Amino acid sequence: MFTPKPQSNAVAAALITLAASFIAATTLMAKGLGTNGYGPPLHPLQISHGRFLFAFIALSTVAAFLRPKLTTPHWRLHIARTTFGWGGVTLMFASVAFIPLADATAISFLNPVFGMMLAIPLLGEKVGPVRWSAAGLALVGALVLLRPTPASFQPTALLALAAAVVMGLELIFIKKLAGRENPFQILLVNNMIGLMIASCAVLSVWQMPTAPQWALLAGIGLCMAVAQTCFVNAMARADASFVAPFSYATLVFAALYDAAFYGVRPDAVTYIGASIILAGALWLAMREARLKKRAPVPSTSP
């Protein structure tokens, strides 16, 4: 029988921030694959196929050595979660090939806002004014980083927006699974189903990658496997509405990667937007910690 993880907002926040750093790395590599920097551009369906292929190889290797105890999966939840996850990541990989990485990241990672909103009717979570305010503050920071201009509303930008909505739905199914099954089993089954879906979808657009492209595909898969491990464990330790705003740290990492790999130095707008996002996340974390200290200790008397 699966034993739920002990609740800890601090651990959940640390895990989701670490996951954000790896997720930002996958979008950076996907941009390289979607342009002609390492050979003929790969189709987004092929990039997402590589993501699931190498993530599944990594997780299967770990399973072969650790031999974790597995239970019967909740197939309906897994299929729903994986379908939304595959669709979201494919849309995200498509968007970064057409619009700037910072813009695509800012738009697509509005998914925590959609996730928090959907957690109310679908998970029955209560979202108070502090959480709403923190999420709203993070949203303002994302909009600052987006630098709204008429160009931001070009049709290709809608790919990233669609990714945000779809991945917001994925958050709900991750939370539903987090309390039912072992996190590692969730990851293994997710990537197995995802690989099946991606393998069927890639058939019509497949082309032989170059050696550097193979390396980047493997990198995307491995980074996503680590990010998923952190993310699922975070969701198992705190409410989805608490965890979601910390995903905005992805925007900060994306800016850092832009500077390191593409020579794009953050300007004043980037610093302001990142500061607002961090302020919202820290405000939420501090507020949750104070509320937890004030909560009465349950009586142990019969």
CA atoms within 13 A on the CB side of 249: 19
Find the radius of gyration of the CA atoms of the chain.
19
Q: Are residues 123 and 175 in contact, defined by beta-carbon separation less than 8 angstroms?
A: yes
Q: Which amino acid is at 245?
A: P
Residue 46 has what pLDDT?
A: 97
pLDDT string in tens for the chain (302-residue length): 455 566 778 888 889 999 999 989 998 999 889 888 889 999 999 999 999 999 999 999 989 988 888 888 889 999 999 999 999 999 999 988 887 777 777 777 677 677 777 778 877 777 778 778 877 887 787 777 667 666 655 677 778 888 988 988 888 887 787 668 777 888 899 999 999 999 999 999 999 999 999 999 999 999 998 998 888 788 778 876 677 777 778 878 887 887 788 777 777 777 787 788 777 776 766 666 666 555 554 433 33
Residue 286 has what pLDDT?
A: 67
Tokens of 181: 């099954």
pTM (two decimals):
0.77
* Domain enclosing residue 98, as ranges: 16-291
Where does the chain have alpha helices with state H? 9-34, 44-66, 75-95, 101-108, 111-123, 129-146, 157-178, 183-202, 211-235, 240-243, 249-262, 268-294
The owner of tokens 């029988």 is 1
Residue 10 lies in a domain: no
CB atoms within 10 A of CB 285: 18
Residue 53 lies in a domain: yes
Dihedral in degrees, nearest 10, Cα atoms 200, 203, 204, 205: 110
Residue 5 lies in a domain: no
Number of structural domains found in the chain: 1
Residue 296 lies in a domain: no
CA 29 to chain centre: 15
Residue 247 lies in a domain: yes
